[in-house]
């Protein structure tokens, strides 16, 4: 059953809300690369963003292949309109929601975030999105919920990478509920003021800036509130290398390489090396989430 917010919101409030809402939802229905109006966020870093070319040509998106250039090469075939997201589990308003209804009423912001990949490369990306907490509040998180589980689209006719048995598709990710509700955690629908490019996770993806990039699941089609830690793709594949939390931590090396430094994409093969920051530079905002945890074990 497909639901609109009007199905779960009192009609007078819904009608009034429709009059007030402009921007995000309408733009999602507009032609590709329509400009998105978004306010500047106080959560942004003051670092210079990478170029649009950097951000859209060097990606991990295994549904389109394992090469960094594969997403830009093959993602053009992906159909992103229409799009819907199943929201289920321990929520008050489960259902299948059209993307426009998911975005509708959410205050869009430009958030310039550091982005750190587990392979020790990094970027600075000007995302356009809204806080995940706003959506969770709207669907009503039940008291027994402790985690949020996510799934990516699986569409073999448009995603050549899913022919590989390397991953047990669909791609899965998860967050602890307090991580999901943190104001830094966003659902992004664009970057550089335009709609999300397909190779970057169109039409909607997660961004959790203090975690390694693979936690920021792309092209989301399912969001489930659960009471137990959900299985996540890389932890299922190689648990000795990829923990559930996957916080950026320069003091915990990947078994095959050091995480103490990183290379900024766009600075050349041998340039732009810099020290990795704890929690990717967001320590002041998120360290309290892990105050009683041993991050060498809960990595």
Domains of the chain in start order, with CATH, are 2-290 (3.90.420.10)
pLDDT number for residue 16:
36
Q: How many CB atoms lie within 10 A of CB 48?
A: 8
pLDDT number for residue 176:
98
Would you say 41 and 111 are in contact if contact means Cβ atoms under 8 Å apart? yes
pLDDT less than 70: residues of the chain:
1-34, 269-271
pLDDT number for residue 30:
32
Q: Of 130, 171, 178, whose CA–CA distance to 21 is shortest?
A: 130
pLDDT number for residue 20:
28
pLDDT tens by residue, 178-236? 999 999 999 999 999 999 999 999 999 999 999 999 999 999 999 999 999 999 999 99
pLDDT number for residue 2:
54
Residue 295: exposure state from Cβ atoms within 10 A (0-12, 13-18, ≥19): middle
What's the CA angle centered on 102, arms 213 and 172, to 5 degrees? 35
pLDDT number for residue 269:
66
Would you say 218 and 201 are in contact if contact means Cβ atoms under 8 Å apart? yes
**pTM across the whole model:** 0.89
pLDDT number for residue 270:
66
pLDDT number for residue 265:
94
């Amino acid at each position: 059953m497909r639901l609109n917010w009007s199905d779960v919101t009192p009609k007078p409030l819904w009608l009034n809300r429709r009059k007030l809402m402009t921007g995000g939802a309408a733009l999602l229905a507009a032609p590709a690369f329509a400009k998105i109006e978004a306010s500047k966020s106080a959560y942004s870093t003051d670092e210079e963003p990478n170029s649009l070319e950097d951000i859209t040509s060097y990606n991990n998106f295994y549904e389109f292949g394992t090469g960094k250039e594969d997403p830009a090469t093959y993602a053009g075939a992906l159909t992103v309109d229409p799009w819907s997201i199943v929201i289920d589990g321990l929520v008050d308003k489960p259902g299948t929601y059209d993307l426009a209804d998911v975005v509708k009423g959410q205050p869009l912001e430009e958030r310039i975030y550091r982005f750190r990949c587990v392979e020790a490369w990094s970027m600075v990306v000007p995302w356009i999105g809204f806080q995940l907490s706003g959506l969770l509040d709207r669907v009503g998180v039940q008291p027994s919920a402790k985690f949020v589980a996510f799934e990516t689209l699986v569409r073999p006719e448009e995603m050549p990478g899913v022919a590989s048995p390397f991953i047990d598709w669909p791609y899965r990710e998860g967050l602890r509920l307090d991580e999901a509700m943190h104001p830094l955690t966003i659902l992004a629908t664009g970057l550089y003021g335009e709609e999300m490019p397909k190779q970057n996770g169109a039409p909607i993806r997660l961004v959790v800036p203090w975690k390694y990039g693979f936690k920021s699941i792309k092209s989301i089609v399912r969001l489930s509130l659960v009471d137990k830690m959900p299985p996540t793709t890389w932890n299922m594949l190689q648990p000795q290398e990829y923990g559930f939390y996957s916080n950026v931590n320069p003091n915990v090396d990947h078994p095959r390489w050091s995480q103490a430094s990183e290379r900024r994409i766009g600075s050349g093969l041998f340039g732009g090396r810099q020290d990795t920051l704890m929690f990717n530079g967001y320590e002041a905002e998120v360290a309290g989430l892990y105050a009683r945890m041993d991050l060498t074990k809960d990595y």
